[in-house]
Amino acid sequence: MAGGGGGCRRGREQLELERLGQAARPGSCPPSPPLSACSRQAWSRDNPGFEPEEDAAAAAAAAGPVLEMDVEWGSRAASSLGSGAGAPAGGGRRARRGPAGRGGAEGPGRLPGPPDGAAPRRAAWAKRLARRLRGLWGTRLMEESNTSRERYLKSVLRELVTYLVFLVVLCVLTYGTVSSSMYYYTRVMSQLFLETPVSKTERTDFKTLSTMDDFWKFTEGPLLDGLYWEMWYNNKTMAENKSFIYYENLLLGVPRIRQLKVRNGSCSIPEDLKDEIKDCYDVYSVANEDTAPFGLRNGTAWTYTNEKDLNGSSHWGLIATYSGAGYYQDLSRTREVTALQIASLKKNLWLDRGTRATFIDFSVYNANINLFCVVRLLVEFPATGGLVTSWQFQPVRLIHYISTFDFFLAACEVSFCLFVLYYMVEEVLEIRIHRLCYFRSLWNCLDILIIVLSVVAIGISIYRTSTVDMLLKKLLEDQNSFPNFEPLAYWQMQFNNIAAVTVFFVWIKLFKFVNFNRTMSQLSTTMSRCVKDVIGFAIMFFIIFLAYAQLAYLVFGTQIDDFSTFQDCIFTQFRIILGDFNFTEVEEANRILGPIYFTTFVFFMFFILLNMFLAIINDTYSEVKSDMAQQKAEMELSDLIRKGYNKAMIKLKLKKTTVDDISESLRQGGGKLNFDELRQDLKGKGHTDAEIEAIFTKYDQDGDQELTEHEHQQMRDDLEKEREDLDLDRSSLPRPLSSRSFPRSLDDSEEDEDEDSGHSSRRRGSSSSGVSYEEFQVLMRRVDRMEHSIGSIVSKIDAVIVKLEAMERAKLKRRDVLGRLLDGVTEDERLGRDSEMHREQMERLVREELERWESDDTASQMSHRLGTPLGLSGQPRSRSSRPSSSQSDGLDAAAAAAANGGSNIHV
C-alpha cells in the first residue's frame, strides 16, 4: 500500500499547486475545502455493515473548484466538480469515476475547470436528465455482478415499493368495478324468471321444465308476468309503453325469442326399421342445421337468418355449442301484443321435432346502481326427447364516469396504463441486457405474462366503451328494436376473467420479493428442491387416479349424474379425496363394484398416496431448514429497513450512534466478550446479524468466538480513534452558509444517500474557507491505517502460500522416499533375500515414522484448541500436512536400508 500513500500525497501536492494557480489568477475565488464524506471513517471502512453517524454537515464553497476524495479501495477515485455557482440545484453528491464523456472524473488528483459557455452546461444538464430518467428503470437485473449486497437490496426495495403501488392501483380498479349490488341484482332477476311456477296449480318452474307444453306454459305465464310490469300493486297504470321490472329496472327495447333446428334425414335409419320410422333428426351441429323456410313461410319467425345479419355469436350450451343464426321473433313493448305473438307461434307449431334449442334474450337497466343486466334463457331439446334448461344473468357496468368515484377510477385507469408502459420499457431494457438468458427465469416469464394480460384488458375496455355508445345511440333512435347487448356481455365476461387472472398473478409475484427474507424463502426453496420427487409422485398418482376414473365412468356413467361424463368422474374423485361423496348412489348403481371401487379408491388415494406426498414435502422442508441454519447470515430487506430506521433515529437524536452502542457493550463485557453476548446486546439495539458478525470477525483473530484482553483492547483503541476522528471533523469543518449544492456525477443517481452512511447529505452546502490542515491529517492517518490493515492481510496470505509450498515439497519428497522403499522391497523379493535383522530394522523405522505422524497430529490439534496457530517446530503449519522435513529424513533412512538389502515388508 506504499503506492496508495504516495498517490494520496501526490494528489495533495497537485491540490496545493491547483490552489496556488487558482489564487494567482485575477478574479479567482478562494478555494474550498474537500467534502467531509471523502474521508470515510476507519470503523466503517473496515466493517461494511457499520457506518458511523456525524452531526456536523460538510463544508462547501460558494465558488471555486471542489476536491472530492473517496477512500473506498478499488471502487472509486478522487474526482473534481465544477464551480458552485454553475451547479444545478439537486446536485452535490459523490462523483463516480466513469468513462470520459459521461460526466465522470478525468483522473485522480486532477481538477478540470468549470465548463465555458452555456452550450456545455446545457449538454451536461441533458446528460444528467437522461441519466436520471434511465435510473427510473434500475432493477436487480440491471445491476452489475460485482454490486454490493446493500446496493442490491436497495434496488430490490425500490422495485418492491413501485410494485406495491402498482398492485394497489390494480386492486382499486378491479374491486372498484365490482360490488355486492351485482349479486343482489342477479339474485332477484333469477328468482323472478327461474323460480316462479308456470301456474298456480303446478309447481313446475323454468328449472324443472320437461316438455314442450311446459315451455309454452312458461312463456305465456311467468315470462310475460316478469317482462311487463304495467300496473302498480294498487292497480294504477305505470308509464305508457314502458316496463319497469320490480318498478326499478327498465326493459330496454323489446325481447327476442330464437330457435335453431336440424333438418329431417340428417341421420341414417337401419334398413330393418325404415318401414316403421320415416323421419330422423340428428343431434345439433352446424352441418345438420336446417335453413329452409317452414310453417307460414313469412316473417323472420318462419325464415332462416344467418349469424352475420343477426350480429350474433355462438353459445356454449349444456349439450352442444350453438351458432348465432336461426329463426327469431322480436316481441312487443306491450303485454297484449306479445301474448298474441306467442299464441300465434304456438298455434302454428313453431316448435317441432327438428327444434334443438330455443333462446329468450332481453336486457334491463337499473339507474339506481348504474348496472345493465343481460339475460339469456336457454331451452335445449336433445335428440333423446325432453328438454334441458340453462340460463345466464350478467350484470355489467357499461356506462362509466358518472359519479365522483367513477372519476377516481378513471384516474386509476390512467395510472394503470402508465404503470403498464413503465414495466414494458423495463422488460425491454432487461431483455436487451440479458438476451435469451432473460427467459430462463420463471419470474421474468411471469412479468411478460402480466404485461400481456394487462394490454389485452386495456384493449377490451376500450372496445367495450366505444361499442356501448353506438348501441345506446341506436336504441334511442328506435326503441321498438332488440338491443343486442350479448356481444358486450361476452366481452365484459372475458374482461372480468382476464382481470381476475391478472390480479392473481400479480399477487403471486409478491413471492419474488418475499423470498429475500430468510424465513419466507424456505417455501420457494422447498418447492424447487422437491420438484423432481413431486413429478415422479404425480406420475404414479395420476396413473392410479385415471384408472379409477375410467372404471367409474364405465360402471356408473349411465346412472349417476356425477359420473355422466369422464370430466365429471375426475372432479367427483377429487371431491371424494376431500370427503365430499354420496356412497348411497354408488352402492345403488352397482352393489358389487360400487363398494369395491369406493373402498379401494379411498384406501390407495387417501391413506397411501396422499400421505406419501406429505412425506415428500416434510422431508424436503426439514433439509432446507437445516441447510439454512448452517448458512452464513446475509443482509436482508428487513435489515436494510431497520438500518434506515436507525439512521433516522440517530439523526433525530433519539438513539445512540453505532460507536456508542459498541463502546457500551464493551464496558458491560468486562475483560472478555463472547460473540453470543455481543450479538444479543447489539441485536436488541437494532443492529443486524451481518453487521455484528462482520465486526466480531475482524477482531476475533484466533477464531474462538471470544475476544481476549488483547483483542478487546484493540477494539477499544479503534473506537477511541474513531471518536477522535468524529470530534475532529466536527470541530474543523464549519456549518454550510448557503443552500446551494455542488454538481455530481451522472452515474451516481441511486446509491449515494445510504451508501455514504449519511455523509452525502452532510457534505453539501458551500463555504468560503480553504482546506484545513487538520482534515488532511485525518485523511493521511486513515490512509495509513488502511495500509496497515491491508498489509496484515497480505502477510497472512503470504504465510499461507509459503505453508502450501512446504506441504507440496514434503508431499513430493514423501512420494519419492516411499517409491525407493517399494523398489528395495521388490529387489529383495527378486533376489530372494531373507534377512530377519533387515526386516526388523525396516519395521522399526516405518513404525517410528507412523508414531511421529500421529504425535504431530495430536500436537497440531492441541495447538488449534489453545488458539496457537504454530506447529511443533514453531513454524506455521496445517493440520493436513503429514510429514515434516525430519519425517522425510527418516523415510530416506528407511529407503536407504531397503536399498542396502532389506527384506519384504507389508505396510
- Helix/strand/coil for 478: coil
For residue 728, the Cα-to-chain-centroid distance in whole angstroms is 47
User: Cell digits for 364?
Assistant: 334491463
- Helix/strand/coil for 27: coil
Closest by CA to 428, choosing from 454, 414, 448, 457, is 448
Write down the residue that cell numbers 515388508 correspond to.
905
385: left (phi over 0), alpha (psi -120 to 50) or beta: left
pTM: 0.58
- The reported pLDDT for the residue numbered 459 is 93
Closest by CA to 814, choosing from 880, 877, 891, is 891
3-state secondary structure 258-296: EEEEECCCCCCCCHHHCCCCCCCCCCCCCCCECCCCCCC
In degrees rounded to 5, what are phi and psi of residue 362? -160, 165
Interval 700-757: pLDDT, tens: 666 666 666 676 667 777 777 766 666 665 555 444 443 333 334 434 444 444 444 4
CA atoms within 13 A on the CB side of 779: 28
How far is residue 534's CA from residue 538's CA, in Å, rounded to a whole number? Answer: 6
Closest by CA to 645, choosing from 675, 688, 581, 608, is 688
How far is residue 451's CA from residue 430's CA, in Å, rounded to a whole number? Answer: 14
User: Cell digits for 72?
Assistant: 473506498
- The reported pLDDT for the residue numbered 471 is 79
User: Cell digits for 601?
Assistant: 379408491
- The reported pLDDT for the residue numbered 414 is 93
- The reported pLDDT for the residue numbered 218 is 95
How far is residue 462's CA from residue 464's CA, in Å, rounded to a whole number? Answer: 5
Burial class for 895, CB neighbours closer than 10 Å (0-12, 13-18, 19+): buried
CA angle 894, 897, 902 (to 5 degrees): 110
Question: Alpha-carbon torsion 873, 877, 879, 881, what sign?
Answer: negative
Q: Do 269 and 277 contact (CB within 8 A), yes or no?
A: yes
Question: What does the DSSP 8-state code read for residue 199?
Answer: B
CA angle 462, 463, 468 (to 5 degrees): 105
Write down the residue that cell numbers 500500500 correspond to.
1
Closest by CA to 144, choosing from 804, 751, 850, is 751
- The reported pLDDT for the residue numbered 671 is 52
- The reported pLDDT for the residue numbered 240 is 67
How far is residue 258's CA from residue 359's CA, in Å, rounded to a whole number? Answer: 5
Closest by CA to 774, choosing from 726, 736, 738, 735, is 726
Q: pLDDT means per 10 residues in the chain (907 residues)?
A: 44 47 44 39 41 38 36 36 37 40 40 56 74 64 62 80 92 89 93 92 91 94 91 76 85 94 90 86 93 91 93 91 94 92 94 95 93 94 93 89 88 94 89 87 90 94 84 80 86 90 93 74 84 92 94 93 92 92 91 94 91 92 85 70 77 67 63 64 65 68 66 71 64 45 39 41 40 73 80 83 85 75 70 65 71 63 48 40 44 45 38
Q: Do 765 and 740 contact (CB within 8 A), yes or no?
A: yes
How far is residue 540's CA from residue 282's CA, in Å, rounded to a whole number? Answer: 41
How far is residue 93's CA from residue 91's CA, in Å, rounded to a whole number? Answer: 6
- The reported pLDDT for the residue numbered 152 is 75
